[in-house]
């Protein structure tokens, strides 16, 4: 499928890797960098970029391990700072000198937060972001359920899904086919993605690097339930709270304006995510669950709200928008509403 009107594709060498990215708007417009999430690419942002106000310059890269950017291993021990540093390298290679506006969806939320904790930015937009304490394995205050963060990281990837991802499965024959995982998790069940667009996005997901250096990453054996702990490479390890923690934004001396949007029907980032070990254990899907006092379902949305309310108490400006009925990707299933909120926020923060 051709790119949407006004959107163009480019490749550029940075001092870290060769990056494929999409762009729209005026070349000298206010720079806005859109960082996608796990198992996606910059094309997931096309509906944000096409027809957007011309005074912005939207840039949507394919992040390390995904899409058409150069394939390089992800060092999970840095959390999402590989992605943050890759984004900054892209900004530098493009010759952008002013602070950029950053938006991060899901995994990308942790990446843009890491960028902002190291560098001045114009604003931050979190789109159903991963919890400030990473994905899974912790209590409300971010304290790990077990010291080794058991139940998080590369070992939590579903083996059938990984196999189908690696084989390039475009079918709908299994609940674990990438097509069906997207339809059940990326957007609200009440939303029907046009078939040609769904085919396109399935193809984008199938560009993912699969294995220890990409999705899901490596794993280690743990004596704690459910028997595995994070490794050191790949995206699911980078999302483990052992390495991923963006709660430190509350300590930033410069606090850019923040927009947090979240779909109320999100099952991926939720208080009791359908993908998280505490939730799966409590539901009986993973045997031997040690109980809610030891390993509760992670209250991810509550954790996001706790950190952003503290950010506001310490002088930051925070706008919170819960999008009723939207799933994990409001940029997809509530695009008109979400775009209006986003464009207005950018104008207010520019």
Contact 277, 152 (CB under 8 A): yes
Counting beta carbons within 10 angstroms of the beta carbon of residue 220, is it exposed (0 to 12), middle (13 to 18) or buried (19 or more)?
middle
Answer yes or no: pTM beyond 0.85.
Answer: yes
Of 46, 48, 78, 80, which is closest to residue 63 (Cα–Cα)?
80
Q: Which CATH class is domain 8-142+244-349?
A: alpha beta
Q: What is the pLDDT of residue 1?
A: 79
Q: What is the pLDDT of residue 113?
A: 98
Per-residue model confidence as pLDDT tens for the chain (350 residues)? 799 999 999 999 999 999 999 999 999 999 999 999 999 999 999 999 999 999 999 999 999 999 999 999 999 999 999 999 999 999 999 999 999 999 999 999 999 999 999 999 999 999 999 999 999 999 999 999 999 999 999 999 999 999 999 999 999 999 999 999 999 999 998 999 999 999 999 999 999 999 999 999 999 999 999 999 999 999 999 999 999 999 999 999 999 999 999 999 999 999 999 999 999 999 999 999 999 999 999 999 999 999 999 999 999 999 999 999 999 999 999 999 999 999 999 999 99
Provide the token pair at 155. Answer: 């070992």
Q: What is the pLDDT of residues 9-59, one digit of tens each?
A: 999 999 999 999 999 999 999 999 999 999 999 999 999 999 999 999 999
Alpha-carbon torsion, ordered 89, 257, 28, 80, to 10 deg? 20
Q: What is the pLDDT of residue 192?
A: 94
Q: For the stretch 263-273, what's the b/e string if a residue is b when 16 or more beta carbons lie within 10 angstroms of its beta carbon?
A: bebbbbbbbbb
């Amino acid at each position: 499928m051709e790119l949407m009107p006004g959107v163009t594709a480019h490749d550029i060498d940075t001092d870290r890797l060769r990056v494929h990215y999409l762009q729209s708007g005026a070349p000298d417009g206010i720079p806005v960098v859109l960082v996608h999430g796990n198992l996606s690419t910059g094309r997931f942002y096309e509906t944000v970029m096409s027809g957007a106000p011309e005074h912005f310059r939207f840039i949507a890269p394919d992040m390390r391990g995904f899409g058409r950017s150069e394939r390089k291993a992800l060092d999970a021990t840095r959390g999402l700072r590989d992605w943050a540093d890759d984004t900054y390298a892209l900004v530098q290679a493009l010759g952008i000198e002013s602070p950029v506006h950053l938006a991060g969806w899901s995994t990308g939320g942790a990446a843009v937060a890491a960028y902002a904790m190291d560098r001045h930015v114009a604003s931050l937009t979190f789109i159903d972001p991963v919890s400030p304490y990473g994905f899974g394995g912790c209590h409300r205050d971010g304290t790990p359920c077990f010291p080794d963060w058991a139940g998080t990281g590369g070992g939590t990837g579903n083996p059938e899904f990984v196999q189908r991802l690696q084989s390039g499965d475009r079918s709908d024959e299994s609940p674990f086919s990438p097509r069906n995982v997207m339809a059940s998790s990326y957007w609200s069940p009440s939303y029907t993605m046009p078939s040609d667009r769904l085919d396109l996005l399935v193809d984008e997901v199938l560009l993912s690097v699969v294995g220890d250096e990409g999705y899901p990453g490596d794993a280690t054996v743990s004596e704690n339930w459910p028997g595995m702990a994070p490794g050191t490479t790949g995206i699911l390890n980078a999302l483990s709270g052992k390495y991923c923690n963006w709660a430190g934004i509350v300590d930033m001396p410069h606090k850019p304006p923040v927009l947090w949007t979240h779909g109320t029907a999100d099952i991926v980032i939720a208080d009791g995510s359908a993908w998280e070990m505490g939730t799966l254990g409590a539901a009986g899907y993973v045997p031997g669950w040690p109980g809610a006092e030891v390993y509760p379902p992670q209250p991810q949305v509550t954790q996001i709200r706790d950190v952003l309310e503290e950010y506001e108490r310490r002088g930051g400006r925070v706008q919170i928008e819960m999008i009723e009925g939207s799933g994990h990707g409001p940029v997809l299933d509530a695009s008109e509403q979400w775009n209006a909120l986003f464009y207005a926020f950018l104008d207010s923060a520019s």
